[in-house]
Amino acid sequence: MTVRVTPRASRNEVRAGEDGNLRILVTAVPEDGKATDAARKLLARHLDVAPTRLVLVQGAQSRTKTFRLD
């Protein structure tokens, strides 16, 4: 699943993007993987799965990230 992450947002939110992918807004800063971790936790809550089941496949340094559900 490919998502677009926006760090330093005013609130944490998951919404549908214009391109059909999910857009995740997080208040965390994009340093040391903090925004990626926050996005994974928020996406897991949205999908009602444990955060450990979401594995980052691609995009550790990018706003566009691909997660795999294990």
Residue 42 CA to its chain's centroid (Å): 7
pLDDT in tens, the chain (70 residues): 899 999 999 999 999 978 888 999 999 999 999 999 999 999 999 999 999 999 999 999 999 999 999 9
Query: How much is the pLDDT for 18?
Result: 81
For residue 24, the one-letter residue type is I
Query: How much is the pLDDT for 19?
Result: 82
DSSP state of 46: H
Q: What is the CA radius of gyration of the chain?
A: 11
pTM of the complete model beyond 0.75: yes
Query: How much is the pLDDT for 32?
Result: 93
Q: Which residue has the tokens 């936790």?
A: 41
Query: How much is the pLDDT for 8?
Result: 97
Q: In what order do the strands lie in the sheet with 54-58?
A: 13-16, 22-25, 2-6, 64-69, 54-58
